[in-house]
Amino acid sequence: MPQVSGIVSLILSLNNDFTYLEVADILRKSAQKVGGYTYTLGQGHVSNLSWNIQMGFGRVDACKALIESFKMKAAITGPDRIFTTNTNFTLQNVPAGQTVSWAVSPTHLFPTTGRSGTGATAALRAMHSSSSGLATLTYTIDTGCGEFQVQKQIWVGVPDTGMQVDANYYPICMNEYTYINAFYDPYNTNPAGNKASDITNFIWEQPSGVSCFTAGTKNEVLACWFTNPDNYIVRVRAVNSCGQGALRTVHFNVDSWGCSYFSVGINPNPANGNVTIALTETPLDDAAKSVLQAENKGSREFQQYSFNTPPHRIRVVDIVGAERLCVENVPEGNSYQLDINHLTPGIYIVHLEHRNGTVVRQLRVE
């Protein structure tokens, strides 16, 4: 069709480097959905465009095709991060004669004289040496057939306080090393200008009265040996080539009781007449701490390792689940006597119900 040939000529006059596949893509994307027909997404051979069996992708549109041509080749060159000195950003591949303007947001990160302008080059700098944040540079191009925008994200200034600061395990226990890690979003590997590779090092303010040292290639780890239960304050700041960011303050609670669990012993077992349930305070190892940090709080392992306070109820049930014995008011202490004289010989399950769940043990009655 002659009008299609003419539009293709216009596209190639803007940039004769377009391939025939790129030209075809421009025509499809810019086509008008006309004729009162229903155009269904993915119905044709291009999954992200709508199509109709009578009209195809629609009627070709010269103006929209030109805009799509501009958008396909337009690009902003410039760094991912800026400081307090002027840095140039340039909109590339814009044909002569187009009206170009630019603006940044949020504006508070930039001086009042450098927040908007005209032309393909924008000179940007941070408002202050302490400025910190993610900004967007937006170019608006008026083609005469309509406007379109091209954007680039830029990190302005020093690192922010959005890093995560976490201990390697919880609960934090006394008289062993706890490794506190500072890091940025692990799920976003390339946040513009504030990714881990842009951080040169971390600076820590260690908790008062605690022996600590830093580790890691960027001092991203603070290793501390806590000897007393307390609520401790740890502060850390990140550093990039612009300078030091603000301090991030984090509180860590060290408990005297939260670093062990009760292992359960039933003696004698098999038994008749009376049986003793003994609770032995057992330190949490790394595997147990990993279980306590897991999301599955209903697992048998979690309920076992979180058993660190005396049970509030002890129940004995038979193998079909019928309750045969229940102690509601469990006496204080770590040892309990149960009278099982009324139980007939067989297999029973002892339930020790505590604030975080239930620990079960098997009991054989002879």
Q: What is the pLDDT of residues 345-354, one digit of tens each?
A: 999 999 999 9
Cβ(246)–Cβ(240) under 8 Å?
no
Residue 189: its pLDDT value, please? Answer: 52
Cβ(338)–Cβ(303) under 8 Å?
no
Mean pLDDT of 211-231: 94
Mean pLDDT of 229-256: 92
Q: Residue 119 above 60 pLDDT?
A: yes
What the chain holds in terms of domains, given with CATH numbers, is: 2-69 (no CATH), 75-157 (2.60.40.10), 164-254 (2.60.40.10), 260-365 (2.60.40.3080)
Entry pTM: 0.66
Mean pLDDT of 10-31: 72
Of the ranges 108-117, 153-162, 174-183, the best mean pLDDT one: 108-117
Residue 293 vs residue 239, higher pLDDT: 239
Q: Is residue 224 within a helix (H) or strand (E), and if so which, with residue range? A: strand 221-225
Res. 105 pLDDT band, cuts 50 70 90: very high
Q: Residue 146 above 90 pLDDT?
A: no
Q: Residue 231 above 70 pLDDT?
A: yes
Residue 293 in 3-state DSSP? helix
Radius of gyration of the chain (CA): 34
Mean pLDDT of 350-364: 93
- Greatest Cα pair distance, the chain, in angstroms, is 103
Portion of the chain with pLDDT greater than 70, in percent: 92
Distance CA 176, CA 168 (A): 12
Task: Lay out the sheet containing 346-354: strands in order across.
Answer: 323-327, 313-318, 346-354, 357-365
Q: Residue 104 above 70 pLDDT?
A: yes
Residue 7 in 3-state DSSP? helix
Q: Residue 230 above 70 pLDDT?
A: yes
* 7, 69, 85, 326 from 63: Cα distances, Å: 9, 10, 40, 82
Residue 106 vs residue 291, higher pLDDT: 106
Q: Whole-number mean pLDDT of the chain?
A: 86
Res. 14 pLDDT band, cuts 50 70 90: low
Q: Residue 212 above 80 pLDDT?
A: yes
Residue 68: its pLDDT value, please? Answer: 75
Pseudo-torsion of CA 202, 166, 168, 218, nearest 10°? Answer: -10
